């Protein structure tokens, strides 16, 4: 099975006013980085990329901050083509 390693710019979106307001994580596709034919190597590469990104972005405002204005990235692995954004549908409050 093939796995694609991709970078996403991450953000938070306002979910709604229930329970005093809630937010959910979102991501916008930036670029595909690598194609792996072994799932374990793809996961290892994703973990290495996220550790490096954490070190490079330590000075940036956290996504959970109200002053966050973009610029944080994360790596994700997909078994098919990476989606343009996630989540595909806006979550509903349960």
pLDDT in tens, 32-62: 999 999 999 999 999 999 999 999 999 999 9
Residue 53 resides in a domain: yes
Q: Indicate whether this model's pTM tops 0.75.
A: yes
DSSP helix/strand/coil, 66: coil
Better pLDDT: 2 or 1? 2
Q: Is residue 94 part of a domain?
A: no
Question: What is the predicted pLDDT for the residue at 66?
Answer: 86
CA atoms within 13 A on the CB side of 29: 16
Q: Which of the pair, 27 or 66, is modelled with greater confidence?
A: 27
Task: Find the mean pLDDT for residues 81-87.
Answer: 94
46 vs 25: CA distance, rounded Å? 18
- 59, part of any domain: yes
Mean pLDDT value across residues 62-67: 90
With respect to residue 92, please indicate whether it lies within any of the assigned structural domains: no
In the chain, the number of structural domains is 1
């Amino acid at each position: 099975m093939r796995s694609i390693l991709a970078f996403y710019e991450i953000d938070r979106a306002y979910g709604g006013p229930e329970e005093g307001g809630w937010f959910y994580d979102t991501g916008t596709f930036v670029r595909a980085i690598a194609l792996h034919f072994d799932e374990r190597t793809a996961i290892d590469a994703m973990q290495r990329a996220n550790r490096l990104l954490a070190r490079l972005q330590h000075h940036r405002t956290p996504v959970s901050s109200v002053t966050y204005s973009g610029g944080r990235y994360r790596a994700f692995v997909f078994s098919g083509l990476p989606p343009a954004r996630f989540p595909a549908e806006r979550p509903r409050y349960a």
